[in-house]
């Protein structure tokens, strides 16, 4: 690790923009010719991705890898925690399921977890000039300071300087920054080399007295004020962001109305990012059956607890409402756990999930799912059949269990993790108005997405804008925003390059 250097971005709380600003800094450094990699020692997220070797990591680290021009690696996020209930999480180490632990059990395990974290950091250090580390939550969570591997603990272990980010859009940014610094130990405060204020709206001149106050009060310089922006397509890790709505009143906007059920334990909701950028689509995340009215396409997304979320849907009356939606000519699609819900039954003989051992599904396709002990994670290439036409698609699978289907599969998976084969995937009704698949990222595929949207007879062309181009343009624009609003000379000095 002699030739590698680093920098860490921590936040005053969750959801202050650490993941996005980490990606921005990575792209800025890449543009300067550095070999740079992202690293997040411990991530708690239900949005995950499949790395190049088939292991599972946080979705944000996959996006940051893209910013760096790298293939995602399990070493970019060695510890991934996926909540399975109110006090338990599935612990994934270097891409593979290690155990399910309570919060207390995991806290005691962190000393052991550190060795995996440092091993992964060393792997990245072998092939990179700079490692940009993202913190988790806040470094001022004093109850979690012992054996910390997410914030100052890892900064100390790899001798990394820190930039502290505060979110001004939430309000109270001065108190959150000052309070965070007050709760840190002296040597931890000394690690913080600069402050960044994120999500600023308005006239920056009005902010200047506050910046001067922070400098005088903390002795730390504000090296950047990043504006609030909404026009870039970047993945969210936190379901708090799922607040978009469509107008389901009478009338037709000429757009395809897509409603996604916001399940209590919804996962991999970045599956629907291609719709957010599409001018032909109005998308909503819904929580009541009444909100289905007016939708053309209803989607049941992935979930970390399929049986519990299925029970939640039934108790809220989604079952009859979905059948009424189909009777009106609407379409229903299910992704991963949502696909499992479409079938006749889901069984959990090994107690993989917390909650009921089995439950009847919505009965919209002839399929039965049995949850298994082993998680399956694959990057896949497949051929999906839609309206009697085949479309080449790519994506990834992350699921526990197998679904036995009677009838036509939705797609034929021809490659998993680079190895050829044939694996039937998903299911579709005879009229094509109900379909499900295990393939996350299915809507990222432009030709398939264009064909799907054009089938709703809204006069939409099948030629959709490349979602890959949208993401690349967003990352380039993000780096430009960072360059214009953050003192990069100061950042490079902190890094030591």
What are the residue numbers of the active site? 336, 440
d(CA 158, CA 287): 44
- CB distance 16 to 165 below 8 Å: yes
d(CA 430, CA 389): 14
Return the structure tokens found at 431. 């009229």
Q: Please, what is the Cα angle at 402 between 400 and 403, to 5 degrees?
A: 130
User: Which among 280, 269, 220, 208 is positioned nearest to 243, based on CA atoms?
Assistant: 269
User: Which among 387, 385, 433 is positioned nearest to 409, based on CA atoms?
Assistant: 385
User: Which among 385, 404, 384 is positioned nearest to 394, based on CA atoms?
Assistant: 384
| Helix, coil or strand: residue 370 | strand
DSSP 263-277: -TTEE-GGGGHHHHT
User: Which among 256, 286, 235 is positioned nearest to 72, based on CA atoms?
Assistant: 235
- CB distance 370 to 400 below 8 Å: no
Relative to beta strand 331-335, strand 297-300 is parallel
Return the structure tokens found at 415. 């490659």
Half-sphere exposure at residue 247, Cβ-oriented, CA atoms within 13 angstroms: 7
d(CA 107, CA 131): 26
Q: Determine if residue 197 is left, alpha or beta; phi over 0 gives left, psi from -120 to 50 gives alpha, anything else beta.
A: beta
d(CA 136, CA 150): 6
Place of tokens 């108190």: 175
Burial of 327 (0-12, 13-18, 19+ CB in 10 A): exposed
Phi and psi, residue 85, nearest 5°:
-165, -165
DSSP character for 486? B
User: Which among 403, 397, 402, 462 is positioned nearest to 428, based on CA atoms?
Assistant: 403
- What CA–CA distances, in Å, run from 215 to 164, 177, 226, 250? 13, 11, 17, 55
Place of tokens 């009356």: 317
d(CA 68, CA 431): 44
- CB distance 283 to 260 below 8 Å: yes
């Amino acid at each position: 690790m002699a030739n590698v250097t680093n920098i860490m971005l921590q936040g005053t709380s969750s959801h202050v923009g650490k993941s996005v600003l980490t990606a921005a800094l990575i792209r800025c450094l890449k543009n300067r010719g550095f070999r740079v990699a992202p690293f997040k020692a411990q991530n708690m997220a239900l949005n995950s991705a499949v790395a190049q070797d088939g292991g599972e990591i946080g979705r944000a680290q996959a996006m940051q890898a893209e910013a760096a021009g790298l293939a995602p690696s399990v070493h970019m996020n060695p510890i991934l925690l996926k909540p399975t209930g109110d006090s338990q999480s599935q612990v994934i180490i270097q891409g593979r399921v290690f155990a399910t632990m309570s919060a207390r059990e995991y806290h005691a395990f962190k000393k052991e977890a550190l060795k995996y974290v440092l091993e992964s950091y060393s792997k990245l250090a072998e092939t990179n000039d700079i490692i940009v580390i993202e913190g988790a939550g806040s470094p001022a969570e004093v109850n979690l300071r012992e054996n910390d591997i997410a914030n100052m603990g890892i900064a100390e272990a790899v001798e990394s300087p820190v930039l502290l980010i505060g979110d001004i859009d939430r309000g109270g940014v001065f108190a959150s920054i000052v309070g965070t610094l007050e709760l840190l130990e002296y040597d931890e405060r000394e690690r913080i080399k600069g402050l960044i204020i994120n999500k600023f709206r308005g006239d920056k001149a009005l902010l200047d007295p506050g910046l001067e106050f922070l400098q005088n009060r903390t002795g730390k310089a504000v090296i950047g004020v990043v504006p609030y922006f909404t026009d870039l397509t970047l993945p969210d890790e936190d379901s708090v962001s799922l607040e978009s709505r469509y107008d389901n009143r009478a009338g037709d906007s000429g757009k395809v109305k897509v409603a996604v059920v916001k399940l209590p334990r919804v996962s991999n909701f970045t599956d629907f990012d291609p719709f957010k950028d599409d001018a032909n689509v109005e998308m909503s995340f819904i929580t009541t059956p009444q909100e289905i009215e007016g939708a053309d396409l209803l989607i049941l997304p992935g979930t970390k607890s399929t049986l519990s979320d299925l029970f939640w849907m039934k108790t809220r009356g989604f079952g009859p409402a979905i059948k009424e939606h189909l009777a009106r000519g609407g379409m229903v699609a299910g992704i991963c756990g949502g696909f499992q819900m479409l079938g006749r039954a889901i069984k959990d003989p090994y107690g993989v999930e917390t909650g009921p051992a089995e439950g009847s599904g919505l009965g919209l396709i002839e399929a039965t799912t049995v949850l298994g002990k082993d998680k399956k994670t694959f990057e896949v290439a497949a051929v999906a059949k839609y309206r009697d036409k085949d479309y080449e698609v790519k994506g990834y699978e992350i699921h526990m269990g197998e679904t036995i289907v009677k009838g036509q599969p939705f797609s034929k998976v021809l490659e998993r993790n680079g190895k050829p084969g044939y694996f039937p995937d998903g299911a579709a009704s005879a009229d094509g108005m109900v379909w499900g698949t295990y393939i996350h990222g299915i809507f990222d595929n432009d030709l398939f997405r264009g064909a799907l949207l054009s089938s709703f007879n809204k006069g939409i062309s099948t030629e959709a804008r490349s979602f890959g181009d949208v993401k690349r343009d967003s990352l380039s624009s993000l780096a430009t925003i960072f360059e214009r609003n953050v003192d990069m000379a100061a950042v490079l000095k902190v890094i030591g390059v």
